[in-house]
Amino acid sequence: MINLSGIAFVFLVFLLVTIMVKAQNSGLDDPDLHTIYIEDLCDELAKSTTGSALLLDVRTKGEYNDVSPSEHLNIGRLKNSVNIDIMEIESRIAEIESYKEKDIFVYCSHSQRSRRVSRYLLDNGFKRVHNINGGLSDYVYYGIDCPGSIYETSLPYKLYGPDMVKEHIATGTGDAVIVDIRTAEEFSGTSKPDREFSNVGRLKGAVNIPSTELESRMGELPKDKKIIVYDFDHSLAPKAAHLLAKSGFTDVGVMVFGLYSYVYKFGSADSHLEAAPKYPVLSYTQSLDVIKKGSALLLDIRTSEEFNSKSEEEQKNMGHLKGSVNIPADGFAARIGELNGSKDKEILIYGSYKDSKAAEIALLLQANGFRNISVAASGYYKMVWNKKNIKGYDLPLEMIERP
C-alpha cells in the first residue's frame, strides 16, 4: 500500500471527511454500512461468530487514555479495544489486517469519526465492519454495560447519565450530595438575556457552589458521601471533579454532558427539576412528538444559508424540516411581524444544536403576545443525528427536505 504523507495525506483525510459528511447529512446511512444501536451492542458482541471480534476505537490517543486537553471528551473506553486515531488509519491499517474476515466494531465519541473509518475499512476489503451508533458518549449517557463489564476508565471520578442521577434524586436516600457548580444566576434562573439559554432550571435538592468558589468552599461538602457534580454542558465539571478527588473525596461523580443533557432527555417540566424557564424546553422525544403532530409552526432560526444547504461549511448543509419557517436569529426582531398571524398557534423554536439564541427569541415572542411557545433542546443538527443514532427515533425521512 502507498504510504501517503504530508499534503497528500491531508488531502485524503479531507476528501474522506467531505464525502462522509455529505452522506451522513443526507438523512440516510450508507447502505453498505452496517450500524448497530448502542442498546444492542452487548448482544451483537455476544453473537459474533467469526472468532475474536475487534473493538476499534478511532478517537485520539488522549481521548482513549482520558488525558485529552478537551476534558469533556475524556469518557473512558471499552476494554481490550485497539486505539487507532482516524488521522492514522491509512498508515496503520496493516495492524488490523488479520481482521479482514472477522467482526470489527468501530466506535468514537459520537459516531461521526467511526462512520468515516467504517466506510474506509469496507473500501479496503474488510468484510464484517459494524459502526456503533451514538459512540461511547451514548454508552456512558445511557449507563449501558455488558455482562462482565467491558467499560473502563482511568478517571478519578465516575460518570453518571441523567437516568442514574434522576434515580438518586427520586429515591431520596440521602446517600449523595448533588452539587451545581454553575453561577448563582444560572442556578436561580436569573441570568441576563444574553445568557437566557442557561436558565434551564436546576436539579431538586442540589447545592450551589459555583466552580470559581469550589476550592475555598469544599469544606461544606461531606467526604463520607457520594458527591455528584454538574454544570451546564460538561465544560467545567471534569475539572471540578478532579479537584475534589485530589482533595480527598473518594466517591466523586459527574453528570455526563451537564444539566442540558438532563433537559435534553426529560424536558424542563420534569418533576425533578425546579426553577424552570418561563417557556418549556422540550426533550428530544417531546420535540419529535410536536413535529410529527403536524399542527405546530416549526420556527428554524438558523441562517438562510444553512436552511437552504448553501453554507460554505459543508457539514452544516443538512436541509431543513418540511414546512418549517426560516427567520434567522440575527435580525429576528425586525421580522417578528411576519408571525403575527400565529400568536395563538403552537410554535416550536430550534436552531442548529444548543442554540443560545432560541431562548432569547422565546422570551421576545412571549413579550409580543405569542401564547404557546416552546424551545427544542435538540436543534436541527441533533434531530438529523438522532435519526441515525437513536433507536426508535422515528423522524420520517420525508420530513427532511434537502434542496
Predicted confidence (pLDDT) per residue in 57-99, tens digit? 999 999 999 999 999 999 999 999 999 999 999 999 999 999 9
Q: Which CATH superfamily is domain 281-401 in?
A: Rhodanese-like domain (3.40.250.10)
Q: Which CATH superfamily is domain 6-152 in?
A: Rhodanese-like domain (3.40.250.10)
Average pLDDT over the chain reads 90
Other CB atoms within 10 Å distance of the CB of residue 1: 8
Other CB atoms within 10 Å distance of the CB of residue 193: 11
* 28-51 per-position pLDDT tens digit: 467 778 999 999 999 999 887 555
d(CA 200, CA 233): 12
Q: What percent of the chain has pLDDT over 90?
A: 82
Q: Are 323 and 298 in contact (CB under 8 A)?
A: yes
d(CA 17, CA 227): 40
Q: May I ask the CATH architecture of the domain 165-274?
A: 3-Layer(aba) Sandwich (3.40)
pLDDT of residue 328: 97
- Sorting pLDDT into bands at 50, 70 and 90, what band is 148? confident
Q: Are 315 and 21 in contact (CB under 8 A)?
A: yes
* Residue of 14, 229, 42, 28 whose CA lies nearest to 132: 42
Looking only at the bridges linking them, the beta strands covering 320-321 and 226-230 are unpaired
Q: What is the pTM of this model?
A: 0.88
Other CB atoms within 10 Å distance of the CB of residue 7: 8
* Residue 165: exposure state from Cβ atoms within 10 A (0-12, 13-18, ≥19): buried
Output the CA angle 130-135-137, nearest 5 degrees: 165
Other CB atoms within 10 Å distance of the CB of residue 36: 17
Q: Where are the alpha helices (DSSP H) in 142-181?
A: 162-171
* Residue of 129, 143, 131, 116 whose CA lies nearest to 13: 116
* 7-30 per-position pLDDT tens digit: 333 333 333 444 444 444 444 467
Q: Which of 16-25, 245-254, 351-360 has the lowest mean pLDDT?
A: 16-25
- Sorting pLDDT into bands at 50, 70 and 90, what band is 194? confident
Residues pairing with 281 in the sheet: 375
Coil, strand or helix: which one is 114? helix
Other CB atoms within 10 Å distance of the CB of residue 346: 16
pLDDT of residue 50: 53
Intervals of CATH 3.40.250.10 along the chain: 6-152, 165-274, 281-401
* 291-324 per-position pLDDT tens digit: 999 999 999 999 999 999 999 999 899 999 999 9
pLDDT of residue 49: 57
